[in-house]
Amino acid sequence: MSFAAVRRTLILLHRWIALILTPIFLVIILTGAVLSFRPIVNSGQGPRQGASLDVAALSQLVGAIEKAGQPGGISVIEGGRALQVMAQDPAVAGRWDMASGAHTPAPAGGIDIFRTAEGLHKTLLLGLGIVVEVASFLMLGIMVAGPFLAWLRFRNSLMGWHTAMGWLLLPLTLTSPVTAVMLSLHIGTGSRPELPRTKRPVAISQALAIAGRDLDLNRLAGARRFRGGTVMLQLAPDATGGNGGGFVVTDSGVTPLVGGPSLVKQIHEGTWGGAWSGAINFGISLVLLGLTVTGLWSWVRRKARNRVRPVAAGGDILVAHASQTGTAARLAGVVFEGLIAGGEKATLAPIGALKPAEIARFPLVLLIASTTGEGEVPDGTRALLRQLKSSDLKGVRFAMLALGDRSYAHFCGGGQRLKAALMAAGAVEALPLREADGDPSGAFLGWVDTVRSELALNCKITGLPAVSPPVALTVADRQRLDVPGTGNTQETWRIWLEGTQDIAFRPGDLVRIAAGAGERPRSYSVGSSSRVDPRRIALTVRLHEWTAEDGARRLGRVSGFLLREAEQGVTVEARLDPHPGFNPPTDPRWPIVMIAAGSGIAPFPGFIEERRASGRAGPAWLIFGNRHRDGDFLWRDVFEEALADGTLTRMDTAFSRDSDDGARVQDRLRQHAPEVFEWLVETKAIVYICGRRAMSEAVLEALAEVLVTEGGLKPEAARAEIGQWVAEGRVRVDTFN
Ligand SMILES: Cc1cc2nc3c(=O)[nH]c(=O)nc-3n(C[C@H](O)[C@H](O)[C@H](O)COP(=O)(O)O)c2cc1C
């Protein structure tokens, strides 16, 4: 087994043992915390330092108490001014004043907190001592394994505190379970001396009289009757610290108890140093409680986060979508709502989030699928396409609306591929494929009509999702991001566009801009947030430049327009498309990893801006790659500032053409595999990948490798896992060509 596999097993054991035993751990820890007050309370009792007890008054009072009932034991309290009597008998239990002999009974029905806590601590009050012993062994194992599972690094997160506490306070926290285990194995506890016996039972008053001949009783701390009829006296040490301890009194004399409680027991109970060793034990209990609670809570939070499931209303109809930028998803939502309004039962889901076996449960699938790249399926659907090759969808009928754009070479290529894969798996078409070119509204309504009539479904569609209306945006400012003359950088600018009224948008949304009326628009990622400024949109625009066949230099239509033609103050017609699949998590505390190459950095300045504005951002890690640190570290100022003010927890860069190591972002992922694994698997960060398709594929492959090296998965299983994460939205990809 590799180290990674051992570590993975340890993590699972650590987690599951802790989870299963949490209730028992909590009982042991909380009662331990209560019991650690015993030495603290006791230290304030017994005769006061220097003051000596009035032995005659004491003997007289004990005699009086014994006349009134049967005391089980007495303790000298309040520095010798009173006695506390332990007894079943309510006539004597409670406080007895030494001077007046007045009795204040113990509260009726009151329970002895320490007794109860001790019972719970040792046997759960159910005679289950063995369970407690096993739990102590396992607690020790979990704590010793802890430091092997995560390195000590300071992070202000639940897991960060858990790890830091586990590491730094280990020597302290180990004392409790180590001594518990030693006690249960009788290690270092010494052998119990044979106790002397008595012929006739001795009362406490008699014991005081017998012992008074040999012992200096004005240092008496307490006395207890044993079952065999003897009495044990506890004496405080004298001024020289000697001669204290326990003595057993029989009818024939006094025997000192040799040895006393072992050091192991004293450490476990916090009695070795009186009040302050009790306080240390209380501190240990608090740390153990902290470890249990932070561990449990972070597990609960992870579970809650993992629940990315389809909206299920049951029924036989699956309304599914394969969407890259959200259009297909929005239209599928409209169909779903329409079916529910029409009284049908249906389930809505991104098709890529389902396993083939889950799809097979639905006799009818209504599917809206878009195309991305050069005739490819959306990112979240690629894994499913692979899985369908070895799946059986017999009995499934589907009707598909494919979204596309005829200006691309492979019109509706994604939909076609998906259709072919479904049919190869045995599904059949309930309706012929319908294709939408450009704005899908018309084709969509026509398709829904056919679905209604041909498939006899009641689907009440009241309106289409608003197609993003055109907005007029003014070029407010531009700034070159790369430094010309520092090697072969690519000309890249940040551009701020300004609206005349407030607009709602989030980082990662897309702005479609065309260079002129009727021209094909180009999409740019929004790198700012309307939560910070609802009128200002930041874009990252790289100039597309190439040499045409005639040898002339050509510029991309839209980037050339934005960077060469549109002067400051020029107004451009744009459309803003929401892109929920690539927005930052709505909860800013959720950890994220942002991976970008080149102008793929575009959305992330907006992520930073929005998280900083929230005031409670969780951990964020940026991994950025480009050619030269000096020349094209795009948005460097923004990210360095974010790192300094903590909005960014960590930043790694890879500049492939610098002399250092020529690494790319995917190489950084491999180099920092343990940390990547921790962010991915332990803290369940959402990973955002933005760049060219080849880059995103290399990054996904590197992530799968991390699962192999750190998680012990087989390569195929690791790829499938990453595919599943893409489908569930735990890994989000935004690619461009
Ligand atoms: C980067 C990109 C690549 C595209 N590639 C194609 C293509 O190859 N063939 C096609 O028919 N449509 C293509 N389209 C058009 C989309 O399929 C179409 O805009 C669709 O409505 C998007 O739906 P979605 O938002 O659900 O992803 C492409 C769109 C983008 C932004």
**What CATH number does residue 327 fall under?**
3.40.50.360
Do 512 and 640 fall into the same domain? no
Q: Does 20 fall in a domain?
A: yes
Do 162 and 24 fall into the same domain? yes
pLDDT at 48: 53
Assign 412 a pLDDT band (cuts: 50, 70, 90).
very high
Residue 134 burial by Cβ neighbours in a 10 Å radius (0-12, 13-18, 19+): middle
Q: Identify residue 296 by its one-letter amino acid code.
A: L
Tell me the torsion sign for CA atoms 400, 403, 407, 410: negative
Assign 309 a pLDDT band (cuts: 50, 70, 90).
very low
**How many other C-beta atoms lie within 10 A of the C-beta of residue 151?**
11
Nearest CA to ligand 1 atom 12: 404
Q: Are 462 and 632 in contact (CB under 8 A)?
A: no
Q: Does 47 fall in a domain?
A: no
Q: For residue range 231-259, what is the model confidence (pLDDT) as tens digits?
A: 998 887 665 545 567 888 999 888 887 76
Q: Does 464 fall in a domain?
A: no
Nearest CA to ligand 1 atom 28: 372
Q: For residue range 563-621, what is the model confidence (pLDDT) as tens digits?
A: 998 888 889 989 998 888 899 998 999 999 999 999 999 999 999 999 999 888 899 99
Which residues, in sequence order, are CB contacts of 314 under 8 Å at separation 6+?
A: 345, 347
Residue 722 CA, ligand 1 centroid: distance in Å: 23
Q: Does 102 fall in a domain?
A: no
Instruction: Say which range, 163-172, 406-415, 609-618, 723-732, has the weakest mean pLDDT.
Output: 723-732
Residue 461 burial by Cβ neighbours in a 10 Å radius (0-12, 13-18, 19+): middle
Q: Does 365 fall in a domain?
A: yes
Assign 306 a pLDDT band (cuts: 50, 70, 90).
very low
Do 224 and 240 fall into the same domain? yes
Q: What's the domain range around 179?
A: 3-39+114-190+264-301
Over residues 381-404, the mean pLDDT reads 94
Q: For residue range 60-79, what is the model confidence (pLDDT) as tens digits?
A: 999 999 999 989 899 888 88
Number of independent structural domains in the chain: 5
Q: Which amino acids bring their CB within 6 angstroms of ligand 1? A: 323-328, 370-375, 378, 403-405, 408, 410-413, 440, 523, 736
Do 81 and 143 fall into the same domain? no
Residue 387 CA, ligand 1 centroid: distance in Å: 23
Residue 372 CA, ligand 1 centroid: distance in Å: 4
Q: Does 495 fall in a domain?
A: yes
At residue 602, the 3 state secondary structure works out as coil
pLDDT at 528: 97
Q: Are 32 and 136 in contact (CB under 8 A)?
A: no
Residue 649 CA, ligand 1 centroid: distance in Å: 35
Q: For residue range 608-663, what is the model confidence (pLDDT) as tens digits?
A: 999 999 888 899 999 999 999 989 999 999 999 999 999 999 999 999 888 667 88
Do 242 and 284 fall into the same domain? no
Q: Which of 335, 367, 371, 511, when mutated, tests ligand 1's pocket best, judged by the most ligand atoms within 8 Å of its CB?
A: 371
Do 509 and 559 fall into the same domain? yes
Q: Which of 325, 372, 400, when mutated, tests ligand 1's pocket best, judged by the most ligand atoms within 8 Å of its CB?
A: 372
In degrees and rounded to multiples of 5, residue 357 shows phi and psi of -65, -30
Do 729 and 626 fall into the same domain? yes
Do 547 and 648 fall into the same domain? no
Q: For residue range 724-736, what is the model confidence (pLDDT) as tens digits?
A: 888 778 999 998 8
Reading the block at residue 355, the tokens are 């396993």
Do 60 and 83 fall into the same domain? yes
ipTM of the complex: 0.97
Do 59 and 28 fall into the same domain? no
Where is the domain boundary, 455, 490, 520?
Answer: 455
Tell me the torsion sign for CA atoms 64, 69, 75, 78: negative
Q: What is the chain's mean pLDDT, rounded?
A: 88
Residue 369 CA, ligand 1 centroid: distance in Å: 10
Q: Does 465 fall in a domain?
A: no
What proportion of the chain, given as a percentage, has pLDDT over 90?
54
pLDDT at 271: 84
At residue 250, the 3 state secondary structure works out as strand
Which residues, in sequence order, are CB contacts of 631 under 8 Å at separation 6+?
A: 482, 483, 486, 487, 489
If one compares 41 and 577, the residue with the highest pLDDT of the two is: 577
* Number of the ligand 1 atom closest to the C-alpha atom of 376: 8
Where is the domain boundary, 533, 551, 579?
Answer: 579
